[in-house]
Structure 1
Amino acid sequence: MENTSHNPDQHMFGFRQLATNGRKRIGILIGAGAPVSINVGEEGTWKPLIPNIAGLEKIVFDALSENQREVYNQIKSSFPDSNLEKILSRVRMLTEVVGDGKLFGFTEQDFSNLSEAICNSIREVVAQDLPLGANPYSELVSWINGINRKYAVEIFTTNYDLLFENALERARTPYFDGFSGSKSAFFDPSSISKNDLPPRWVRLWKLHGSIGWESNANGEVIRVPDSKNANMVYPSHIKYDQTQAAPSSSLFERLKNFILEPDTLILSAGFSFADAHISSRLLECMMANPTAALFAFQFNGLADESAAKELALKCPGISVFCSDGAVINGVEAKWRIGTPPTKNWHEIRAEYYKDNKFLLGDFLRLARFLATAGSEISQDAVPPIPQEVGAEIV
């Protein structure tokens, strides 16, 4: 096994052909790492449009009051390997069990206020508009629109932001997110299950909710323009329970049904696969449908992508592409360049492999690779990628 290797040229040649196949049923899974690839900092500095989990935790912590920060730190130090998700989970748990007593000097109402403050900060951080000009979201939409497709592209995302909505609307691309109406759009699960819109309509499924979703007087989730509220599935121990209620239950069912369709291909970017609820659903459906394939593009090396690697080792239909190697057909190996598949392939290779590093784990690079793959998209119409690209994906 020590002599085993994967040739990135071979696999990207095949992937490029799949990406331009208009008869392929394609889904895209986008996680929190995707907006990290967009730099909005001043020249020479890197500032992601929306930070990763570590960056988000710092912003949330700084926005808390002095007393809330003190309790936050006490909770954080009380158990190992803590992060924002685990701390919010613990805060919500304490809200439910503290009763009439106190813990860390906080009452039930104090813990409830802390939970609300954390959630409000998360919402404020992710409420960003897509920058003007070239960006990976717009280029992904250009790739979607540039090919005459038999089946609609379906985007599944765990993110609460409206970046895909921004990109689709700027490109005048019709899309459906499960809601119908204008002033107080209502969720229509029957439209999701029937899936009978034209192929040119992109399907956008927000698995964990979205900015702009809120509950009306009847407890139903509606989508309201410029809403300041949010019915989002925040990262915590109650995430699984929340996803069993509408509309999340219908959206997760759509993910399942999509994977079980014949000859499907899912591309994932910015997704760590640490969400056990989604990962278990993906694995279950992929094992049930041997004609389906999942290509997971991960930013880090194999050693740091344990969750994705574990899935790929269990299911040969899941391929994980990391910076230093890959798991393909259940085989884990490092990259090794081989014979180019075509005469001028070295020019294409520069888009995904440089300095012994595979680059498509960066959402910016992946979107650019897809955009330039379509024969209908002019190379001259796409500006070059800046020298400094990428950011750590969590």
Structure 2
Amino acid sequence: MSEDKKLAKDHLIFKQGLESLFGEQESLDEGIEKIRTKLSDLTNIKNLHFLLGAGASSDAIPAMGPLIEKVTARVEDAETSNQLAAHPDKLQHSELKRQFDLVKDVSPNNLENILGTLYSKREYLKGIGQTDSLNDFLIELIESQIYSAINIDCNSTQAKLSLSLYKKLYQKLALRNKDLARVNIFTTNNDLLSETALGFLNINYNNGFSSGLARTFNPARFSYTFSRKVDPSVEKYEPLENMVYLYKLHGSISWVESDDNSFFNIKEVDVIPNMHAQDKNVLIYPTPLKQNKSLGSPYADLIREFQNKLLLQHGVLIVIGYSFSDEHINNAIYAALASNSTLSVIIFGNYHPSENLTRLTDRRIYQISGEVELSPDDGTSTKKEKIHYFNYIVNNFIPDLDRNKESEVLEEFIKSIKSLKDKK
């Protein structure tokens, strides 16, 4: 069966609540176009928010599986053995490997559970007035490996594809209609791909930090509206169009604890790619205890901003590359849906019907996933691509938000004329 004759309902998922939005005989191309049209309508709503998870940076930052392999290799290598031998407590390498193997055997594919177990042991020992140097060493080793995996050169070959996608995303979002609110980007990622892309495009962004030499955190900045003077002769201003708001819900490799006596004691620093972790970084490492750690500043402030933005009337939250494994974020979305009847949520992902928001019958929740075959321009064989991956979403679904309605109407008119001609 040719690609244009394949039925959308057999290859794609496009649901509103639990109801499929595809007709029985709609082709794959018609299905993709229906998704694109709906997204164009929804992204033209007053308040537009994005939630980007690990999937948005997966081409540059190692996924969980490869990350566990790196940690395992680091636990077993000779450098670790030398560090243990030089430790004041004369720790044994064989015992470190044994402890790591014990916790890894229970969760061989989940670094969150591994770290969570080690954190729990440390907290228990702290509660009874004891310590375990070997356990602490293992935690530091794992955290260091995670930091090193995230702290890549965003302009390197390794990050080339991811950075190009972030550039394309922000290029589409930044020049939004000035009558609509600026776009809010919420992300659980700790990398600097967003900042690098925004800087390259010369797009203004507000991430809660002040400008200047000492870039300190102040959540009040998220309530600021950045404007420009329209007419020099009168006091008339309009919001900056070339602007986005960036919220890093789990911190960043460029954040460190500060002793500068600022209100929140967090500052943003320049980061050298491939540099080792600083002792006072504010990164949240992947662990089930994230929610407890997130109760403190600046994370409580960022989650509160997330909650407040989702409560704004006439809003859309677009979820990309997020696994719904963070309960504090999930709870904020559930609470917003419960109290804000004008909020819609678009979830890109292939989730089981019993998982997260996709199990609800609420028609404000959309789910999009599936697979299509692409024919490369160079004449090589076709390849399959998942439509819920960041790459396909940015290239095919996210509309240019600065396009005016006249051009859209003209395009639709031309398509209709062409369609009529094809049917003759």
Q: Which category of TM-score, normalised to the shorter sequence, fits these structures?
A: 0.7 to 0.9
Q: For 2:54, what is the secondary structure of its paired residue?
A: coil
Q: What's the TM-score, normalizing by structure 1?
A: 0.74
Q: For 1:61, what is the secondary structure of its paired residue?
A: helix
Tell me the equivalent position of 1:95: 122
295, 320, 340: which one pairs with 1:244?
Answer: 295
Residues 176, 182 of structure 2: 8 Å contact kept? no
Q: For 2:288, what is the secondary structure of its paired residue?
A: coil
The number of residues matched between the two structures is: 326
Percent of aligned positions that are identical:
25
Tell me the equivalent position of 2:21: 6
How far 1:148 sits from its partner (Å)?
Answer: 2.7
Specify the code of the residue in structure 1 equivalent to 2:138. L
Tell me the equivalent position of 2:267: 222
Tell me the equivalent position of 1:343: none
Specify the code of the residue in structure 2 equivalent to 1:73. D
Q: For 1:225, what is the secondary structure of its paired residue?
A: coil
Tell me the equivalent position of 2:312: 261
Unaligned runs of 5+ in 2: 1-8, 11-18, 23-30, 81-92, 227-238, 375-381, 408-424
Q: What's the TM-score, normalizing by structure 2?
A: 0.69
Q: For 1:266, what is the secondary structure of its paired residue?
A: strand
193, 206, 214: which one pairs with 1:176?
Answer: 206
CA 1:371–1:122 in 2, change beyond 3 Å: closer, same or farther? same
305, 310, 313: which one pairs with 2:360?
Answer: 313
Q: Is 1:140 aligned with 2:165?
A: no
How far 1:28 sits from its partner (Å)?
Answer: 0.8
- Equivalents in 1 of 2:290, 2:100: separation in Å? 20
The runs of at least 4 aligned residues of structure 1 exceeding 6 Å deviation read: none
Q: Which deviations, in whole Å up to 9, do the C-alpha atoms of 1:33-64 show, x marking residues without a partner?
A: 1111x3xxxxxxxxxx1122222222222222
Residues 129, 166 of structure 1: 8 Å contact kept? no
- Equivalents in 2 of 1:359, 1:18: separation in Å? 22
How far 1:183 sits from its partner (Å)?
Answer: 2.9
Residues 272, 307 of structure 1: 8 Å contact kept? no
Q: For 1:181, what is the secondary structure of its paired residue?
A: coil
CA 1:262–1:201 in 2, change beyond 3 Å: closer, same or farther? same
172, 191, 215: which one pairs with 1:161?
Answer: 191
Which has more radius of gyration? 2
Point out the more displaced range, 364-373 or 204-213.
364-373
Residues 29, 155 of structure 1: 8 Å contact kept? yes
CA 1:168–1:76 in 2, change beyond 3 Å: closer, same or farther? same
Aligned pairs for 1:288-299 (under 5 A) are: 288-298=339-349
Aligned pairs for 1:186-225 (under 5 A) are: 186-192=216-222, 194-197=223-226, 198-199=239-240, 200-217=242-259, 220-225=265-270
- Equivalents in 1 of 2:215, 2:322: separation in Å? 29
CA RMSD of aligned residues (A): 3.2
Q: For 1:268, what is the secondary structure of its paired residue?
A: strand
How far 1:131 sits from its partner (Å)?
Answer: 4.0
Tell me the equivalent position of 2:323: 272
Tell me the equivalent position of 1:54: 65
CA 1:265–1:86 in 2, change beyond 3 Å: closer, same or farther? same
99, 103, 107: which one pairs with 1:75?
Answer: 103
- Equivalents in 2 of 1:311, 1:159: separation in Å? 23
309, 327, 333: which one pairs with 1:282?
Answer: 333
CA 1:370–1:169 in 2, change beyond 3 Å: closer, same or farther? farther
Residues 40, 399 of structure 2: 8 Å contact kept? no
